[in-house]
Structure 1
Amino acid sequence: MKKKSLIFFLMGPTAIGKSSLAIALKKKFTQLEIISVDSKLVYKGLNIGTDKPSVELLKKFPHRLIDICQPFERYSVAKFYRDVHREIKNIILEHKVPLLVGGTMLYFKILLEGLSILPSSNFVIQKYIFEILCHSKRELLYQRLKNFDPIMSKKIHCHDVQRILRVLEVCYVTGKKFSDFLIAKKNIFPYTVVQLGLFPKNKLELFKKITIRFEKMLEKGLEKEVKDLFFLKNIDLSLPSLNSIGYKDMFLYLQKKITYQTMYNNILCSTRRLVKHQLTWLKNWRGLIHIEVECVKITENFLKKFFLKYFKILKI
């Protein structure tokens, strides 16, 4: 039987230090090649608000699947599935080891469980559902999801507009529940995977770090970054790039629909909700190696020793 190639997953909530750890590991184990597993880092121009590694850092330590599409494009789960498989194959052909790093848990999940066979996306229908049927209100959107597909409403967060729209679109187009399509899977992941999950020792410390990080984003020019996106053609809040934490509320502030303080509070609250959601995913994740870390000052020496132990066991 042919031996399966080995790859690593490095997962964790936002702001816990996944990127800095991945770079530390790359320095120590040069045969690693980093692949970003983040639904927002794929977009060009979304730099400050996503806490994207700097251009200089990416030149020294390249991350695949960063800056691969424009903010007015729509990057889907299916596109990620195709792109990440291509990058993994290329890395293995180079006799190196893929290290997949990120916090988009859905992307990791579809790699392990396979991609459901679904109709192609129709963004005209999605826009119609959001703007005409739901009057651009998220609460109405989520209520329709509960009416159409109660099973999916329990799996999707009420603020995840992009996924809710996709589910409703499939329901409208096919006349079937989205959950019915999840039964049929294809292309189960053909690799041996070591799954590593970072957890905060103190969640409150992580929340403090999130506040400090957000204030640094404001100092670096998050408002200008969103303002520049604001003037691009074909840009609106229905796009996955802008309908995300940091960008959505700053966009509304620039349109004078909310106050600066409301924007500030909303972004911090949304980020904390995201962290709780990510940690819920990870706590229920099968086969995960749990690693507790100090969030304010990540003890890199401890982490390097921890990872070195696994690399030695796996004879990399």
Structure 2
Amino acid sequence: MAERPSAGRIGAAVDDRPGHRLVRVVSAAMTQAHLRSADGRPILLAIVGPTATGKSTLALTLAEALGGEIVSCDSTAVYRGFDIGTDKVPVSERRGVPHHLIDVVDPTDVYTAARYSREAAKAVRAVTARDRLPVLVGGTGLYYRALTRGLFPGPEGDPLLRARLSRVARRRGVESLHRWLARHDADSAGRIQPRDEKRLVRALEVWLLTGRTLTDHFADTRSLIADYLVITVALRLTVDALETRIARRVDQQFAAGLLDEITTLWARGIPPDAGPFLGLVYRQAVEHLRGLRDEQETRELIVRENRRYARRQLIWFRKEPNLQWIEAPGDEDETYATTLRLLEVARAAPVSSDR
């Protein structure tokens, strides 16, 4: 066991056994203290940031060490059967740590940020009630904001307006909706992919019906866990380091059977236009299976699209308040030790009023 520097009242150590790195916390202070802030508020520890930065590894290590449970913050991980392209941690590799908000709906179901905020808040409170530490992890910025800062209920959907916007998408391309949204709500356009018709239509619908953008509405909302101290660590890497990790992960996804997973889902009756198939990785892989491009071109395209997505995620999270940034991957020893130090410092300090 190689000792790491002290992390305040919580000291970290490295377990050198294969598959068990960074899994122990060495301190007599490991009681209920890390579950609440100095002024008595329950704590939610969150690990966020762009794709392929090692968030899941760090969160799992922390949860195992601190007696925590994982609450996913990923808009694709909620769908059953979509495992490889969403990089879900296999059950066999979760080290006995409970995971929540993963595999909760069928691929044909509609799952919204509003529903996520309700169910994630319920999961967080249930974890705390079990005297365990909730550890939020993921890169879906809208879900993170919905949970930690609130999500306005919004106007009722207008079928006629939605149909009109969908006709615009068919005539001029979905990207035209994205350009339209960008002119009026740059923040929302920055987080919504240019071909995500459903979310683009909703963002435009809200603006057209209320005269206010989604971004403006979000600013007036209140979190369902407003009584919590949310301690958020955000990971980011250099462009070169991130690209290397993305390319490696895409290769791993194909080696793990991404294409077989898709064909199995089709054989089970999941329609090709189901929501998860339109997301990153799956959309490009489906196009390959339909003969649009060969496998190597598809891998390269997925890497490029992941890079673009990572830039959008970084832009989003940079605008979130009170994040503690670490410029290193989550699977490095020092990232773990630094996170423990940040947790202890934040736990003992008053929270900013703009959370």
TM-score (norm 1): 0.84
Q: Verify the 8 A CA contact 2:44 2:135 in the aligned structure 1.
A: yes
Q: Does 2:55 match 1:18? A: yes
Q: Verify the 8 A CA contact 1:74 1:241 in the aligned structure 2.
A: no
Q: 1:286 is aligned with what amino acid?
A: P
Question: How much has 1:177 moved relative to structure 2?
Answer: 4.6
CA distance in 2, matches of 1:124, 1:264: 39
After TM superposition, the structure 1 stretch with the greater mean CA deviation from structure 2, 260-269 or 213-222, is 260-269
- 1:133/1:192 CA distance change after superposition, 3 Å: same
- Cα distance per residue 1:222-277 (max 9 Å; x no partner): 1111122334546243x431111111111122223444344323211110011111
Q: 1:72 is aligned with what amino acid?
A: T
Partner of residue 149, structure 2: 113
Q: 1:62 is aligned with what amino acid?
A: P
- Cα distance per residue 1:11-40 (max 9 Å; x no partner): 12111111111121123212x221111111
Which ranges in structure 1 are unaligned for 5 or more consecutive residues?
none
2:154 partner SS: coil
Q: Verify the 8 A CA contact 1:12 1:102 in the aligned structure 2.
A: yes
Partner of residue 299, structure 1: 332
Residue of structure 2 aligned with 1:221, choices 246, 257, 268:
257
Partner of residue 304, structure 2: 269
- 1:254/1:6 CA distance change after superposition, 3 Å: same
After TM superposition, the structure 1 stretch with the greater mean CA deviation from structure 2, 226-235 or 34-43, is 226-235
Partner of residue 45, structure 1: 81
CA distance in 1, matches of 2:100, 2:164: 34
- 1:101/1:135 CA distance change after superposition, 3 Å: same
- 1:20/1:124 CA distance change after superposition, 3 Å: farther
Q: Quote the RMSD (CA, aligned, Å).
A: 2.8
1:41 partner SS: coil
- Cα distance per residue 1:119-148 (max 9 Å; x no partner): 345789757743x3311832233244357x
Partner of residue 60, structure 1: 96
2:278 partner SS: coil
- 1:294/1:100 CA distance change after superposition, 3 Å: closer
Q: 1:90 is aligned with what amino acid?
A: A
Q: Verify the 8 A CA contact 2:284 2:301 in the aligned structure 1.
A: yes
Q: Does 2:290 match 1:255? A: yes
Q: 1:292 is aligned with what amino acid?
A: E
Q: Verify the 8 A CA contact 2:262 2:286 in the aligned structure 1.
A: yes
Q: Verify the 8 A CA contact 2:190 2:316 in the aligned structure 1.
A: no
Q: Verify the 8 A CA contact 1:141 1:164 in the aligned structure 2.
A: yes
Residue of structure 2 aligned with 1:287, choices 319, 322, 333:
322
Question: How much has 1:167 moved relative to structure 2?
Answer: 1.4
Q: Does 2:191 match 1:159? A: no
Q: 1:140 is aligned with what amino acid?
A: S
Q: Verify the 8 A CA contact 1:227 1:251 in the aligned structure 2.
A: no
Q: 1:263 is aligned with what amino acid?
A: T
- Cα distance per residue 1:196-225 (max 9 Å; x no partner): 11121x320221111111011111111111
1:9 partner SS: strand
Higher Cα Rg: structure 1 or 2? Answer: 2
Q: Verify the 8 A CA contact 1:37 1:103 in the aligned structure 2.
A: yes
CA distance in 1, matches of 2:217, 2:337: 43
Q: 1:219 is aligned with what amino acid?
A: A
- 1:282/1:176 CA distance change after superposition, 3 Å: closer
CA distance in 2, matches of 1:13, 1:196: 12
Q: Verify the 8 A CA contact 1:12 1:282 in the aligned structure 2.
A: yes
Following TM superposition, the consecutive aligned residue runs of length 4 or more in structure 1 with deviations greater than 6 angstroms are 122-125
CA distance in 2, matches of 1:140, 1:74: 24
Partner of residue 23, structure 2: none
Partner of residue 9, structure 1: 46
